Amino acid sequence: MLDSDSFGIDTMSALRELTGDPSSRSILPRAPKNPPSYSTREFKSFEAACYKSLYPTTSPEQFRDRLASILEKLGFPYFSLTALNPHPRVLFHNLPDATCSAYEQGNYDQVDYAVSYANSARHPILRSRIEDYMSVAPVQTGEMVRNQDLSILYKSHGFYEFYLIPVVTGRERFLFSLTSQDIAPDFLKKLSKHPEAIQLVAEISVSFGQRKFPKLFRPHEREGKIKLHRQPLAVIHTMTEKDLTIQQFAHSQDRSVHTINQHLASVRKALKVKTNHGAVYQAIREGLIPCPCQECTGQREVKDSRG
């Protein structure tokens, strides 16, 4: 298998161009501008009904169930809303537990091109469009293989297509995803009926959810406590413990340098430092990772032997 450290960047550039491909417009419904400018009575009635349904909610679970009810009337029984900053985290979903467990156990959130696409684009896209690109790419990276495995996982659970909607509010980015256990032609037929309504629900879920549940949508603002996702922390821990360069670590994990740099950037941001060396020092100081020096290691071993 061929690999390239810089291919991750080229891959995402190509994925961003997918929605601009004129040949895709006949099968991929386009999103309206933010906010929707539709003035038909039917659309306004639907918008009012969404707010009327969501306004009384008092818990995230109730909010999720009301969203699910709205989307089911449009023909989409399953959805998820994922916050992308400072790391991917699912806010709401009603996908089967078995599907979510398999996704989490496979750590697919670290390589999922749907997440990468939503982090850098604004137009909706079908997941099959990403899969089409991967199938004809001249170079197959480890991340591409993992995404192909993810597609197989979804299909094994009966999900053959996803409609991915990036939502941007200020500096925050979110991914709203719709799916159903339909074959692709039926899925596209449903999309073509209600593209504006679907986009509206995606935007309402974020804007309204931020006001209703600010702590859920912005956990990194709580009490100034340092929040670091497991994977970026594991990256900096292993690199420090084994004294590896970025290139060496990426090669040992069959990951691209671009991906490892993204993890390190999230660590620097969380620790409010500008360099990787500063991040290591601050992570040790905050007790997030153990100090790798021989003196500290020896002290830990003595302590552990004493119980």
Q: What is the CATH number of the domain that holds 162?
A: 3.30.450.80
Q: How many CB atoms lie within 10 A of CB 52?
A: 10
- 177: its two tokens: 């995803």
Query: Are 158 and 267 in a shared domain?
Result: no
* Closest CA relative to residue 204, chosen from 12, 24, 52, 16: 52
**Shared domain check, 197 and 252:** no
Q: Final residue of a domain: which of 221, 245, 280?
A: 221
Query: Is residue 273 a part of any domain in this protein?
Result: yes
Claim to verify: residue 56 and residue 155 sit in the same structural domain = yes
Residues 248 and 132 in one domain: no
Same domain assignment for residues 284 and 238: yes
Domain end point (choices 200, 221, 242): 221
Task: Please indicate, yes or no, if residue 123 is contained in any of the structural domains.
Answer: yes
Q: Is residue 1 part of a domain?
A: no
Identify which of 31, 306, 296 has the alpha carbon closest to the alpha carbon of residue 166: 31
Quote the pLDDT of residue 16.
52
| 303 has pLDDT over 60 | no
DSSP string, the chain: ----TTHHHHHHHHHHHHTT-GGGTTTSPPPPPSSP----HHHHHHHHHHHHHHTT--SHHHHHHHHHHHHHHTT--EEEEEE-SSS-EEEEE---HHHHHHHHHTTGGGT-HHHHHHTT--S-EEHHHHHHHHHH-SS--HHHHHHHHHHHHHHHTT---EEEEEEEETTEEEEEEEE-SS-HHHHHHHHHH-HHHHHHHHHHHHHHHHHH-HHHH-GGGSTT-----HHHHHHHHHHHHHT--HHHHHHHHT--HHHHHHHHHHHHHHHT-SSHHHHHHHHHHTTSS---SHHHHHHHHHHHHH-
Looking at the structure, do residues 53 and 158 belong to the same domain, yes or no?
yes
Residue 144 is assigned to a structural domain of this protein:
yes
Decide which of 115 and 227 is more confident.
Answer: 115
Q: Are residues 158 and 288 in the same domain?
A: no
Residue 2 lies in a domain: no
Q: What is the pLDDT of residues 279-291, one digit of tens each?
A: 888 888 777 888 7
Give the end of a domain, one of 189, 221, 253: 221
Instruction: Report yes or no on 39 lying in a domain.
Output: yes
Identify whether residues 182 and 290 lie together within a single domain.
no
Range from 160-174, 246-260, 292-306 that averages highest in pLDDT: 160-174
26 is in which domain, residue-wise?
7-221
User: What is each CA distance from 114 to 1, 42, 131, 240, in whole angstroms?
Assistant: 23, 32, 10, 30
Alpha-carbon distance of 134 to 147, in angstroms, equals 9
- Cα atoms in the 13 Å half-sphere on the side-chain side of 177: 25
- Rounded mean pLDDT, 59-65: 95
| pLDDT higher than threshold 90 for residue 228 | no
**34 and 133: one domain?**
yes
**Together in a domain, 80 and 110:** yes
Confidence of residue 3 (pLDDT cuts 50, 70, 90): very low
Full-model pTM = 0.64
Burial (CB count within 10 angstroms: exposed 0-12, middle 13-18, buried 19+), residue 19: buried
Note the pLDDT tens digit of each residue in 91-119: 999 999 999 999 998 889 888 999 989 98
Q: Are residues 193 and 264 in the same domain?
A: no
Please state the domain count of the chain. Answer: 2
Binning pLDDT at 50, 70 and 90, where does residue 87 land? confident
- CB 164, CB 117: distance < 8 Å: yes
Both 215 and 288 in one domain: the answer is no
Q: What is the CATH number of the domain that holds 243?
A: 1.10.10.10
pLDDT, tens digit (0-9, with 9 covering 90-100), for 192-214: 888 889 999 999 999 999 989 98
